[in-house]
Amino acid sequence: MYKVIGHPQSRTMRVLWLLEELDLPYEVVPSKPHHENVYAVNPSGKIPALIVGNETIYDSTAICTYLADKHSGLSFPAGTLERAQQDSFTNFALDEMDSILWMAAKHSFIHPEDQRVPDIKPACRFEWARSMKYLETRLNGNTWAMGDTFTIADIIIGHCAFWAKVSKFEWPEGPVSDYFSRVLARPALAKANEKALAQL
């Protein structure tokens, strides 16, 4: 059984969602960033962390990639062109979605007040809108990022979509809106969220 250290209202949900998609057993140690439980396994104090035997893996995308590769699900095989395209989508989500949302969050409530730059938030929203246009082009009308196959890329993108919604970023229209709705309607996401919240 895998042990996940983290909090559902964070990138930890990506890992829990993937575990549910793969139908793998796990337990959650509810911990917010910089909690002593987190520092015990990750010197940075950041979440999530996955305990595998005596080893610890950090970073939600690294954890998801490890689990998908290990259990041969939600990912194309390493070394294939499809995997490269999948990784490209995942990196798009991290570079053009996650980073924008994280920047806005840091300057809204994470940084000490005297270190926040509120004027940066309109630029974040501008970049988000631009990313949504690019995402529509990349999706090209497909059901999932990789066509008919649901992968890690959809989990990372879907989590960013949820994050954007609760952060009141502009919700896209048309195909991207439909795609976000499909991703966020995955039963595994609802199950992961229900389980995690029950443990808080």
Domain boundaries of the chain, sorted by first residue? 2-74+188-198, 81-186
Structure confidence at residue 148 (pLDDT): 98
What SS3 class is residue 43?
coil
CA–CA–CA angle 4, 14, 150 (5° rounding) = 130
- 166 pLDDT band, cuts 50/70/90, is very high
In this prediction the pTM is 0.95
Q: Which amino acid is at 106?
A: K
Structure confidence at residue 110 (pLDDT): 85
Domain 81-186: which CATH class?
A: mainly alpha
Structure tokens at 112: 């000490």
Residue 58: in which H helix or E strand, if any?
strand 55-58
Structure tokens at 26: 């796990």
- 198 pLDDT band, cuts 50/70/90, is confident
- The closest of 181, 160, 149 to 92, measured between CA atoms, is 160
Residues 28 and 54: their CA atoms lie apart, in Å, by 17
Structure confidence at residue 197 (pLDDT): 86
Structure confidence at residue 129 (pLDDT): 97
Q: Would the pLDDT of 200 be above 80?
A: no
Domain 2-74+188-198: which CATH class?
A: alpha beta
Structure confidence at residue 70 (pLDDT): 97
Give the tens place of pLDDT for each residue, 111-128: 998 899 989 999 999 999
State the average pLDDT for the chain.
96
Structure confidence at residue 109 (pLDDT): 86
- The closest of 149, 110, 104 to 127, measured between CA atoms, is 104
